[in-house]
Structure 1
Amino acid sequence: MARDLLILILLSGLISCNPGQEKSDSTPRPGKKEMAELNKYLVQKDRERILNYIERKGLEMNESPAGLWYSIKSEGSGSYFKDNDRIVMEYKCHLLDGTACYSSAESGPKEMILGRSEMEAGLNQGLRMLKPGGEAVFILPPFLAYGLAGDGRRIPSRAVIVYNIKVLMTVD
């Protein structure tokens, strides 16, 4: 028993003294320039997908400088929304292929506080174009929606999202 233990200790020592060869990563990693070019390419492809959707559906949409696509059906009345306004809205959220993601029909009206991080950046931008009672369609490219990861449930990676919104009210 003692002999087996001694052999085990000696073998462990020999193995630990031989660092062996380090594995080399032969795959070159893309630099900043390559990543920037890839990002430009993906943004352009997303834009093409959105334009194809708009044409296929016969929609009249505008594009904001930030890349949000929107069609204001009714601006609403009163003052435009601003940071920290609590908004209650009905909504339908779907992908470009028509796959339904979320809607107020299944979960009830959504209450959101404008400017908070839990809201998609594109939806945050779009709601600022509305007043209480306003209605709009927003198309969010991935970089203004859930990006590379998706939401982990119904919205896949790099998805373009279409929102149909009707603001019901603001809450004080």
Structure 2
Amino acid sequence: MRLNLLTLSISLLLLFSCSSNDRVVSVPVTGVDITRKIAAVNKELTIADMELIARYFQKREWPTQNTGSGLVYYIYKSGNGAPAVKESKVQISFTISLLNGTVCYGADKPVEKEFVVGMGKEISGLEEAILLLREGDHAIIAIPPHLGHGLLGDEGEIPPRSTIIYDVTLEKVLQNK
């Protein structure tokens, strides 16, 4: 994966570099060509991420459900409260770890948070996942980089291009619209 990104970067550098005698090398490259190459690399990375997530759940023998976006989840304890819906205010508690088990947030005590679902203030993978839960549900949610913190990470504890694992409880649906 990283080799493909490196190869693409070097290729682009060579395409836009000057030769040793300062002549400009003319190579017919269009924005469409670059967009296609980037899309191909993104597709490869997404496939690799999904394979890692599948292995993570298989190793633990947890049954999973997948969404069309790439989110993978397992509800290990079902609640019987109200479902979260778009624009509902929810209260959750969670820990976040990486696929290798490194705990990023909530190691000593789960993090508690309230937010309105669908307002775009949380990562898209978390907002999507909460909409799959009912009050009282406990779930393991794997959020691939494209639904999480992307190429940069969170500039804190979550490294760049990391799949993150939420162990989340939907504590309360405080307000249902």
Aligned equivalent of 1:82? 85
Aligned partners of 1:167 and 1:120: how far apart in 2?
Answer: 16
Residues 1-172 of structure 1 aligned to structure 2 (within 5 Å): 25-26=16-17, 31-103=34-106, 105-106=108-109, 108-172=111-175
Aligned partners of 2:63 and 2:38: how far apart in 1?
Answer: 33
CA contact (8 A) 1:90 1:103 kept: no
Q: Pick the structure with greater CA Rg.
A: 1
Aligned equivalent of 2:7? none
| Structure 2 runs not aligned, ≥5 long | 1-14, 19-26
Give secondary structure in 2 for the equivalent of 1:109.
Answer: strand
Aligned partners of 2:137 and 2:107: how far apart in 1?
Answer: 16
Alignment RMSD: 2.2
CA separation of 1:88 and 1:39: change in aligned 2, threshold 3 A: same
Instruction: Report the Cα offset of residue 38 of structure 1.
Output: 0.5
Aligned partners of 1:81 and 1:32: how far apart in 2?
Answer: 37
CA contact (8 A) 2:49 2:163 kept: yes
CA contact (8 A) 1:75 1:129 kept: no
The percentage of aligned residue pairs carrying the same residue is 28
Give secondary structure in 1 for the equivalent of 2:41.
Answer: helix
CA contact (8 A) 2:83 2:173 kept: no
CA separation of 1:91 and 1:108: change in aligned 2, threshold 3 A: closer
The alignment of Structure 1 onto Structure 2 pairs a total of residues equal to 149
Aligned partners of 1:92 and 1:113: how far apart in 2?
Answer: 19
Q: TM-score, normalised by structure 1?
A: 0.78
Q: TM-score, normalised by structure 2?
A: 0.76
